[in-house]
Chain A
Amino acid sequence: MPVSTSPQGTPLWQRRTTRAQWLQYAAWMMGMSLFLLCWKVISDNTMWVFVEDAGRQGSDLISRMLPPRWEYASVLWKPMWDTLNIATLGTALGIMMAFPVAFLAARNTTPHPLVRSVALTIIVSSRSINSLIWAMLLVTILGPGVLAGIIAIALRSIGFVGKLLYEAIEEIHPTPVEAISATGASRLQIMNYGVLPQVMPAFAGISVYRWDINIRESTVLGLVGAGGIGLQLNASINSLAWNQVSVIFVMIFVTVLVSEWVSARVRHAII
């Protein structure tokens, strides 16, 4: 904390030096200008007439959604089952691929730094692309359907599970590994008996957590044609059947809440 002396000779305490204070002002100024500039770009690209209208549109939308057409729910069981399958099979496929990638990416188990950087690239590119974009790509390649959804979810899960798992592997206790290698164990045996038991709880927890997220994501994959309840959502929106849309929303809400509860329970039991 800087101190200066007043003309009377008493010390004056300040929180920051003058220079730091000015730098802080300048940083705030820059941040604010950047924000305003961005706001300007957005407001230039916006039709404000539509925005002024939003309240009326919103209430109109709600009045069309209510009351929900509950009979429609009977059509939704099969898509819901598809959605659950996309999430579950996709997660299973994803963690199967993420498992070796994580071991190759962790600093203490990777065979070679070059392999490590390749594994990290796989993790990063999988993580930065949203599952909907993966689904869009796969629908053009594999055609619309559940398969594209499963693979999209799997590809997105590799990055997430891989990243968290390799961080868990890097944080393991080195002594068990040393003990196992002191018995003359081979590389694979060290992995199997020294590393694996230590990361297994974390791995199970991460997988269940990702499954929970995937349920959420698989509900919308149908918007680009990758199967599940999103297909029905898209069809209902396109035909402006908002009272069906509200039924779908309720179903998604309940499914997500249940899956979140299940995943919280399982993680609590494991860890």
Chain B
Amino acid sequence: MSRTDTLARQQAARQGQWRRLPLIESSRLRWALVLSGVVYLALALASVEVNWARVAEGSGRAINFLGAFMQPDFVSRQSDIWAGLLESLTMTLTSTVIGVLLAIPVGLGAARNIAPLPVYTVCRAIIAVSRTFQEIIIAILFVVMFGFGPFAGMITLAFATIGFMAKLLAEDIEDLDWRQVEAVRATGAGWWQTMNHAIQPQVMPRLIGLSMYRLDINFRESSVIGIVGAGGIGATLNTSLSRYEYGTSAAILLIIIAIVLLSEYLSSYVRRWTQ
């Protein structure tokens, strides 16, 4: 902001007319942003086609669904829910373990300060591919390759875990305290010893915290990838929804919310304990 502007503002403030500073300084840019926002909004809203008759017809179902939440039906599909839940939970655990184990070498390779350039490029490429595509798209491909069932789901989640964990681990390694590494190297330690005694202790608390967080995410995702046939509670949910058995759907959703809450609480406890 120019000096004359500042003076003018001070003058106005003395007369009791104070206005706060705008978020974006240049007024031209500000108005251009507002204008383009309005134009975009008009264009976008114009292109959204809504079938209001269908919406009106569906609102009855919305009320049914809300009613189902008041009295969820855990009983009539109990065995299906249990089977789906068990599959989801096992998928979550195995995929997190496998994914984290595989993510550690990739993460080490993707940290610029300890990996040579070719390794760095390869590892960063793996991370980019794994992070760009939604779990469900990867699940479609793996279901085609490995057949229906939890195995495809497990591989999918493990693959997604690699990208997530490796990226965060690499960032963590890139800003660790380099003096400790130097100190360990000065004793004549080899590569393994440096990793084990200088780098691992510094990143371990965060790695454990992130693994817990990823466990949480993997459970949430495992409830979805069943839609394309990769096993888990998602398949049960999808079936119950398309059969309009809202009581069962509500029960499944409530179970998912409860488990996520529990695991979130647990992971925050573990993170506090490791740090």
Instruction: State whether A143 and B55 are in contact (beta carbons under 8 Å apart), knowing that A50-B147, A57-B145, A132-B227 are contacts in the complex.
Output: yes
A:91-133 near B, CB below 8 Å: 124-125, 127-130, 132-133
B86, CB-defined interface residue at 8 Å: yes
List residues of B (61-82) whose CB comes within 8 Å of A's CBs.
Answer: 61-62, 65
Residue of B61, B145, B223 ringed by the most chain A CB atoms within 10 A? B145
Interface of chain A: mostly helix, strand, loop or mixed:
helix
Given A46-B151, A146-B48, A224-B227, also A125-B55 (CB < 8 A): no
B23–A200 CB distance below 8 A: yes
- B interface, size bucket: 35 or more
> Which of A38, A42, A133, A197 has a CB less than 8 Å from the CB of B224?
A133
Say whether, besides A141-B65, A223-B136, A54 and B58 are in contact (CB < 8 Å): no
Q: Which residues of B contact A141 (CB under 8 A)?
A: 58-59, 61-62, 65
The chain B residue sitting closest to A260, CB to CB, is: B132
Contact segment of A19-27, A81-89, A164-172: A81-89
Chain B interface mostly = helix
| A137-B65 CB under 8 A given contacts A41-B90, A61-B141 | yes
Q: Is the CB of B20 within 8 A of A130?
A: no
The answer to whether residues A136 and B238 also contact, given A85-B48, A145-B49, A150-B48 and a CB cut-off of 8 A, is yes
Contact yes or no, A38 B147, CB < 8 A = no
Q: Please, which residues of chain A bring their CB within 8 A of the CB of B146?
A: 46, 50-51, 54, 57
If A136-B241, A140-B58, A193-B20 touch, whether A58 touches B47 (CB-CB below 8 Å) is: no
Q: Roughly how many angstroms separate A28 CA and B221 CA in the complex, as a whole number?
A: 26
How many angstroms between the C-alpha atoms of A253 and B131 in the bound complex? 10
Beta-carbon contact of A130 and B132 below 8 Å: no
Bound-complex Cα distance A224 to B136 (A): 11
- Beyond A88-B44, A141-B58, A143-B54, whether A61 also contacts B145 by CB under 8 A is yes
Name the residue of chain A whose CB is nearest to the CB of B64: A141
Known pairs A85-B48, A217-B134, A223-B227; A125 contacts B257 (CB<8 A): yes
List the count of A-B residue pairs having beta carbons below 8 Å apart. 149
Once the chains bind, are B237 and A133 in contact (CB under 8 Å)?
A: yes
Instruction: List residues of chain B with CB under 8 Å of any chain A CB.
Output: 20, 23, 40, 44-45, 47-51, 54-55, 57-59, 61-62, 65, 86-87, 89-91, 93-94, 97, 132-134, 136-137, 140-141, 144-151, 154, 220-221, 223-224, 227-228, 231, 234, 237-238, 241-242, 244, 249, 253, 256-257, 260-261, 264
Q: What are 25 A-B interface contacts by the 8 Å CB criterion?
A: A38-B89, A38-B90, A41-B150, A45-B150, A45-B231, A46-B146, A46-B149, A47-B147, A50-B146, A50-B147, A54-B145, A57-B146, A61-B144, A85-B44, A129-B253, A130-B223, A133-B237, A133-B253, A140-B242, A143-B57, A145-B49, A145-B51, A150-B48, A252-B137, A257-B132
Residues of A in contact with B (beta carbons under 8 Å apart): 34-35, 37-39, 41-43, 45-47, 50-51, 53-54, 57-58, 61, 81-82, 85, 88-89, 124-125, 127-130, 132-133, 136-137, 140-143, 145-147, 150, 193, 197, 200, 204, 216-217, 219-220, 223-224, 233, 237, 249, 252-253, 256-257
